[in-house]
Amino acid sequence: MFKNKKEYDEKGNLIYKRNFWGNEEYWYKYDENNNLIHKKNNYSRYSREHWWKYDKNNNKIYHKESDDSEQWWKYDDNSNLIYYISSNGSEIHKKYDKNNNLIYHKNSNNYEYWYKYDEEGCRFKITEQEFNEIKVKKNIEIKSKENKKINKFEIMDI
C-alpha cells in the first residue's frame, strides 16, 4: 500500500501528487512569481485541467477549466477585488473607500450590502436608508466645498 506521495520544486511549490493507492493524480505548474497557472487531475474518469492568469500585482484575473467554464476578476489600483463574473452567470460588484475598506457589495442575486466602520475599524452593515442618508449628507458637503452643482454622486466618494 502506498502513502500519499508529493514532490516539490526548488521553490517549495507542490508539483506532483499521488493518491493513497499510488495512482498518479495531480500535476501543478507555476509562473515565475510562484502563482499556480496549471493543474491537471489525471485520475480515472474525473480527469480535469485548470488554467489561471494573473495581473502584474499577482492578482488572479482569469480561470478556465477543461469543461470550458470560466471566471474573471477585476481589481482596483490597490488590488481590491471590484468585479467578478463567471460563465455560469455569477457576478459580484464591490466598492471601497479611500482607506480600502469595503463599503459596498452586490451579488448576482441583486442583494446589495452597504458597510461603514466604527472608530476601531470594525465593519458593520447599514441599511439602504442609512446609506442614502450618507449619500445626501456627502453630496451636500461636496456641493458646499466646490460651490457648484453636482449632478451625479458616486459611491466611491464616501
Per-residue pLDDT tens digits for 96-140? 999 999 999 999 998 888 888 888 888 887 877 777 776 666 665
Say what the alpha-carbon torsion angle 109, 74, 80, 35 is, to the nearest 10 degrees.
120
Looking at the whole model, is its pTM more than 0.75?
Answer: no
pLDDT at 64: 97
Distance CA 124, CA 94 (A): 15
Please write the tens of the pLDDT for every residue from 11-32: 999 998 887 766 668 899 999 9
